[in-house]
Structure 1
Amino acid sequence: MDSNTPPSSSAAAGSADPSAARRNSKRPKYSRFTQQELPACKPILTPGWVISSFMLVSIVFIPIGVASLLASHNVVEIVDRYDTVCIPESARNDKVNYIQSPGDKTCTRNITVTKHMKKPIYLYYQLDNFYQNHRRYVKSRSDAQLRSNGSADDVSSCEPEDKSNGQPIVPCGLIAWSLFNDTYDFSRNGQQLSLNKKGISWKSDREHKFGKNVFPRNFQNGSLIGGGSLNSSLPLSEQEDLIVWMRTAALPTFRKLYGKIEDDLQANDVIMVTLENRYNTYSFNGKKKLVLSTASWLGGKNDFLGIAYLTVGGLCLFLAMVFTILYLVKPRQLGDPSYLSWNRNPGWQ
């Protein structure tokens, strides 16, 4: 072959710079992370580890569940439903008309204390079948207006309770408009029991969500009154009944704190409650209840947490016992190759 013959194309390709091929490759740069070569913990779930884990969970959860149930059972709680009994016999066929008509709605209830109740005794009102989580209801408020006096005209999200007589309502919206307005007075043996209504709302709400310079204005001045009125001389940050009510509930049955009784109540004490039955729950078949309750380190009376801990702890204890019995009755070698499918079925193809 002539030495001057030009090289073929294949020869030219083979003599190309290898660094150019590497530059044109789509293969990612090597790293231990992308190739999953980093050190890793790969625990082996041996019978001993599994049984020990279940036993540890049961040892921790069962005592917590027992302590939670005991704390809940030590809470003294008295619940008195009054929405029906506080309607006169003559008006029980038309409760809505009775509650909407003007006049005295005073009602007296006698509550007998079943066990000794240590102060402070928390007083709640409970409403049933009241959907505070309804989308239109929850949106009908103005947080900017509640915080700042300069945002009094910000009522765009408060319909239909945004303005009255052409002037903005402060506080506006359906939540504030439907403020709970039943009232309670308590006496024991003819002596008035003091009710502390300070500190019943969240501190963060008082300091950050309700302004100290925002005062009620033009509130409940419409043709239809939804609930309670507000003291126009007090800023919203000091009107704690409103603050408690404005923190809407997630469920249709809820309790809201009304006040605290700062006296001990003895067993068999008869508490006379003088209440004003004014809040209309009859239009939507709602219920009203008065709740007196003490508190424990866990809070109020609620067995759910204790039952949940006991259920999980009991289930883990049961599984630990079952696995222990199986391990003792029919043990097997860890990683026994005889259990592989091709060893158990030699003729398998």
Structure 2
Amino acid sequence: MEMMPQYDLSRMPENTALKQQTLPAHQLDLSASVVLSIFFATGGFCLCMGIILLLSAKSTREIEGDVYMYYKLYGFYQNLYRYILSRSNSQLVGKDIWDVKNCSPFQLSHNGTPIIPCGAVANSMFNDTITLSYNLNSSINIEVPMLKSGLTWWTDKYVKFRNPRAGDLASAFAGSAKPPHWAKPIYELDTDDPGNNGFINEDLIVWMRTAAFPTFKKLYRRLNRVHNFVDGLPAGNYSFNISYNFPVTVFQGEKSVVLSTLTWIGGGGLFLGLTYTVTGALTLLASFAILAIYLMLKRNRKCFL
């Protein structure tokens, strides 16, 4: 006598459309004309946006209104994989300031003391001091007032970078060592402004947001529109006084200072405009290639019939 198999009904899926895989489905069946229209529209949009963005970036004025000072580095690769990973986010957020396990080769000082902030990114922080002077006449120079706040993204300043809560900064960081290339410890980055000291120092935060390309500029200061500079930088002669601390010859690079205003898309960078322009141009070329192939196949089909 043949035995019927026994089934455990408790293990069977429920009789619902989702669990029984009987949900309705729809498959797109786009015609060649629809696909070509999408390609041409996308390419035209990207190309137009790229041209607009490039023209906007070129239109940044040099001396009026809100003026921003940037430092620009050439040939500095912040996008190297090992360089990017050489940091401690738990340390920078104030959660565990002694966490240096991911900071090779800048974890410990020569005597075994934990480095704060640790890692290659923090150790290579840009540390030139730049001041701008307005030459009122041949004998009088006025230092242009610059603000060192308002340089970072809000999420960086108030979420990703936080100081430890216990006590003052000197006590909180006691027993640590400064990065080898730093001239002062983390708790002395800005002793004049407690809101800009330690991990929440804006120069540090700006540097720690790594750049994607070897040539980049980062915001250093912004104009304080007071006294003679209420309307921006007046026409005239200016001079820079730069304390040279950040070496560039070791990586065969260059550095410069940029003064610029902002456009509706932000700074005067060309990257976004070039990206849109190249994408639009390539999409249009692909569209014409697809159109040519489609017309050729359509003609061959007619000849065959």
Q: Please, what TM-score do these two structures have when normalized by structure 1? A: 0.61
1:128/1:254 contact within 8 Å kept: yes
Look up the match of 1:63.
48
Equivalent AA in structure 2 for residue 282 of structure 1: T
Equivalent AA in structure 2 for residue 127 of structure 1: L
Which of these residues, 147, 151, 161, is aligned with residue 96 of structure 2?
Answer: 151
Equivalent AA in structure 1 for residue 49 of structure 2: I
Residue 164 to residue 154, structure 1, CA distance change in 2 (3 Å):
farther
Which ranges of structure 2 fall in alignment gaps of 5 or more residues? 8-16
Give the deviation of 1:63 after TM superposition: 3.5
How many angstroms apart in 1 are the aligned matches of 2:75 and 2:100? 28
Give the deviation of 1:286 after TM superposition: 2.1
How many angstroms apart in 2 are the aligned matches of 1:67 and 1:73? 10
Give the deviation of 1:166 after TM superposition: 4.9
Look up the match of 1:74.
59
Say whether 1:202 aligns with 2:145: no
Look up the match of 2:233.
265
Cα deviation 1:294-328 (Å, max 9, x = unaligned): 2212233314134235525754785799799x69x
Residue 296 to residue 338, structure 1, CA distance change in 2 (3 Å):
same
Give the deviation of 1:164 after TM superposition: 6.0
Cα deviation 1:144-197 (Å, max 9, x = unaligned): 22222x733323333444246554332233332332210111121222211111
How many angstroms apart in 1 are the aligned matches of 2:83 and 2:28? 52
Look up the match of 2:144.
193
2:106/2:120 contact within 8 Å kept: yes
Equivalent AA in structure 2 for residue 308 of structure 1: V
Give the deviation of 1:200 after TM superposition: 0.9
How many angstroms apart in 1 are the aligned matches of 2:252 and 2:123? 20
Cα deviation 1:232-284 (Å, max 9, x = unaligned): 35442431111112222333322221111245235x63221111112122222
1:1-349 correspondence to structure 2 within 5 Å: 40-43=26-29, 45=31, 47=33, 49=34, 52-57=37-42, 60-76=45-61, 117-148=63-94, 151-158=96-103, 159-163=105-109, 165-188=111-134, 189=136, 190-213=141-164, 215=169, 217=173, 225-230=180-185, 231-232=187-188, 234=194, 235-262=197-224, 263=229, 264-266=232-234, 269-300=236-267, 301-302=269-270, 303-308=273-278, 310-312=280-282, 314-315=284-285, 339=304
Equivalent AA in structure 2 for residue 205 of structure 1: D
* Comparing 236-245 and 135-144, the one that deviates more: 135-144
SS at match of 1:125: strand
Bigger CA radius of gyration: 1
How many angstroms apart in 2 are the aligned matches of 1:239 and 1:256? 15
Residue 162 to residue 311, structure 1, CA distance change in 2 (3 Å):
same
Residue 317 to residue 167, structure 1, CA distance change in 2 (3 Å):
closer
1:156/1:162 contact within 8 Å kept: no
Look up the match of 1:101.
none
Which ranges of structure 1 fall in alignment gaps of 5 or more residues? 1-11, 24-31, 77-114, 345-349
SS at match of 1:257: strand
Matched residue count? 269
How many angstroms apart in 2 are the aligned matches of 1:219 and 1:183? 28
Give the deviation of 1:198 after TM superposition: 0.5
SS at match of 1:40: coil
